[in-house]
Each structure stands twice: as structure tokens, then as C-alpha cells.
Amino acid sequence: MGRKLITTVLTIICFTVAASIISMNESYSFDFYILIYPIYATPLILLIGLPLSILLDYLLSQIQFVNHVLYLRTRILSYACAGVLGMYIYYVVMGAGEAILDLKETLVLTLFGVLAAILFVLIDMGLEVLLKMRRRKS
């Protein structure tokens, strides 16, 4: 569970930087977005992303993968799908109503959800490897 909390914090930081770089324009600079994105990203990643991550890891641990590459692909794709699901959960909680069905309205935020989810899984896998290496040295 500690690894997941560290992953959550690192994901919030990395997502904020990446989304700020993507979003900056002539009207709003990087400085503006670096202050705004954590306000929106932190609750979403903490309250939706973290529980979905724990659920996905449990479900994936129930499957016997014979090929490690297949496992990694499945894990990344599962997290990407969780990013889409997480954004739709957010839309429902925020009372978006029928706007959820409008692809033009939801596409950009859904892609940001997928970006956050993929960052989450990549950071989590990296921490997992680092912790395994550290345990082997001990």
C-alpha cells in the first residue's frame, strides 16, 4: 500500500507537469497550469485512480500469464481503460448528465484521464522494480 501512495504522489507531480506543458498557450502560461492542474488532478487520482489501481492489480494477479510481455501490455491497456472509466465516473459525480454522450465535450478530458492512468502504471511498475532490486541487495 505504501508503494501505491508514493505512486499516487509521483503521478500527480508528473501529470501536472505533462498536462501543463500540453495545455500552455498564448493566453495562459505554464505557471498558470502548474498551479491549476494539481487542484483538479489530486482528488481524481487519489479518490478514483488509486482505488481502480488496487482493484486492477488484484484482478490481474488472479490471471496466470505465461508471457511477461503479454502481462505488461495487458496491465498498461487495463490502466488506460481505467483512465477512461475514471473520467466517466468523474463526469457522473459532477452531474454532467447527457453531456457525457457528447464525444466532443468529453474527449480531451478523457485523454487526460488516460494519460494520468498510463503515467500511474508506468511509475508503479518502475517503483515495483526498484523495490525488488532493493530487497535482493538486502
Tell me: pLDDT of 109 over 90. no
Give residue-wise pLDDT tens across range 40-65.
999 999 999 999 999 999 999 999 99
Q: Are 124 and 86 in contact (CB under 8 A)?
A: no
Q: Are 79 and 123 in contact (CB under 8 A)?
A: no
DSSP string of 43-95, one letter each residue:
HHIIIIIHHHHHHHHHHHHTS--S-HHHHHHHHHHHHHHHHHHHHHHHHHHTT
Q: Are 40 and 48 in contact (CB under 8 A)?
A: no
21 DSSP assignment = H
Alpha-carbon span 52 to 48, nearest angstrom: 6
Average pLDDT over every residue of 18-34: 92
pTM of the model: 0.89
Share of the chain above pLDDT 90, in %: 70
